[in-house]
Amino acid sequence: MTMPALQFAGTGKDYDGKTVLDDVSLDVNEGTLVALVGHNGAGKTTMMKLLLGLIRPSRGTVSILGYDPAGPDGAEAKKNLGFLPETVAFQQAMTGLEVLNFYGRLKRADLNINPELLARVGLADAARRRVKTYSKGMRQRLGLAQALLGAPRVMLLDEPTTGLDPALRRDFYDSLSALKNDGVTVLLSSHALSELESRIDKVAIMNSGKLMACGTLAELRSRAHVPVRIRLRTRDGQASNIANQLNGAEISRVNGQVIEFVCAPEEKMLLVRRVSELGVAVEDIEIDLPTLDQLYSHYRDDGGPQ
């Protein structure tokens, strides 16, 4: 068993006597993509700062690639790290290319690929313009480019899609998949839950400094017991007839052609089998699994610590 790429072990953080992070234990294995979700003030940024060694834990430990980020060898770990802060800021008087060259030098990265890196985030035309003239979206893209400098093994992305338009978000999610294929470990925090669902390996749900739940979406769904919504389309006039045969299911809506009902996750297969026995009267079936949004509100509101 290798060491997790990122690890929180009983980590807590207090600011002026106020607990902002409370006993969080979380392992992120190499090559996985983990999303930290939670509203503002849930402790996501605090976790990022702990991983960067910018602040020290009040309790417990933090490690990144086996190093203590706030310890004397913290700089070692940062050679293999890319970070995008929530609100990224650059030296205003420098051009985009100069920014990348400066940070690339600090990371001992190959500077020759920087123009290409800028092109990848759609900033090729702005490479020689001062950052002062950039829009918020352009600064965010420059932030992404700097996080990719030196081919990092771990990336920490704090709200990476803020200020990106839908097309750029899609590009960004595509590049996330590419990173994952290269074996890069990614920890990202986000509000854009629905967009994340298909891309991530694991979700960690935070609320007021506590880790409420962590696991794959499937694990969280089965643990959450959030009801599954099933919608059937039937032949004309058959709907109420069929609805009567589905005793046990909690039917929420019936009209001439459509039946909607919810059931507990473990009853899902049973009901699906029963529906299929009804034969040709049922024309179509749609199953809505709980979305990340629903899971998030479930764990945030009433899910106790795992």
Positions touching another protein (CB under 8 A) are 49, 52-56, 75-76, 78-79, 81, 83, 85, 87-91, 93-94, 98, 102-103, 105-107, 146, 156
Q: Least Å distance between CB 6 and another protein?
A: 14
Helices assigned H by DSSP within 183-291? 193-196, 217-224, 239-245, 268-277
The H or E element spanning position 120 is helix 114-120
- At 256, give phi and psi (nearest 5°): -55, -35
- CA dist list (Å): 3 to 8, 9, 63, 244: 12, 13, 10, 55
Judged by CB, which is closer to another protein: 73, or 286?
A: 73
E strands present in the chain: 6-15, 18-28, 33-37, 59-64, 81-84, 154-158, 185-190, 202-207, 210-215, 228-234, 250-254, 258-263, 282-288
The H or E element spanning position 171 is helix 166-181
Judged by CB, which is closer to another protein: 71, or 227?
A: 71
Q: Dihedral angle at the C-alpha atoms of 113, 119, 123, 125, nearest 10 degrees?
A: 100
Judged by CB, which is closer to another protein: 52, or 193?
A: 52
Q: Least Å distance between CB 158 and another protein?
A: 10
Structure tokens of 46? 């605090």
**Residues 190, 161 contacting (CB under 8 angstroms):** yes
**Residues 24, 210 contacting (CB under 8 angstroms):** yes
Judged by CB, which is closer to another protein: 155, or 193?
A: 155
Judged by CB, which is closer to another protein: 159, or 260?
A: 159
Q: Least Å distance between CB 88 and another protein?
A: 7
**Residues 87, 40 contacting (CB under 8 angstroms):** no
Judged by CB, which is closer to another protein: 107, or 231?
A: 107
Q: Least Å distance between CB 181 and another protein?
A: 24
Q: Least Å distance between CB 114 and another protein?
A: 15
Structure tokens of 234? 């039937």
Q: Least Å distance between CB 74 and another protein?
A: 8
Judged by CB, which is closer to another protein: 157, or 295?
A: 157
Instruction: Report d(CA 279, CA 286) in Å as an integer.
Output: 16
Q: Least Å distance between CB 260 and another protein?
A: 48
